[in-house]
Amino acid sequence: MNDLPVLDPRPLRDLLEIGAGLELVQELVGLLKEDAPPRLVSLRAALEAGDGALAIQEAHQLKGALGNLGLQKFADLAAQIETRVREARWEVARELAEALPVAYAEALAALQEAFPENGALTRPAARPGQAG
């Protein structure tokens, strides 16, 4: 896919260093877990249907959200898909989309590894101070 790291932890660590609580990191990861799966489904469906506008929208939204979390490899995949759709290179975009589930799993694993103290990364419903 690319040689980028799965995760650049600096964006989330920067938040922690400027005083944001771990709860904010948990919330951002929770939002990723809620938002990404339906967007991935929508993106794949748009690619299969040849719906360029929707495919570009979903890929662009993913690219931005993932980039903000430091998920470089996943964000780059979304960017590549967006570019291929804009170029009307549908088969290449569809082939790239085959890597989306693996990229999502890698992203979540990388977040858990980078922030192991954050148990909510593996339990979306868990909150600090509650049993998971």
**pTM: predicted TM-score of the whole model, two decimal places:** 0.83
Domains in the chain, ordered, with CATH? 10-115 (1.20.120.160)
CA atoms within 13 A on the CB side of 53: 0
Q: Which phi and psi (to 5°) does residue 100 adopt?
A: -60, -45
**CB burial of residue 12 (10 Å; 0-12, 13-18, 19+):** buried
Q: Which two tokens stand for residue 85?
A: 């759709």
Q: Which phi and psi (to 5°) does residue 130 adopt?
A: -110, 150
Q: What is the pLDDT along the chain (132 residues), one digit of tens a residue?
A: 468 999 999 999 898 889 888 888 888 888 999 999 999 999 999 999 999 999 999 999 999 999 999 999 999 999 999 999 999 999 999 999 999 999 999 999 999 888 776 544 443 333 333 333
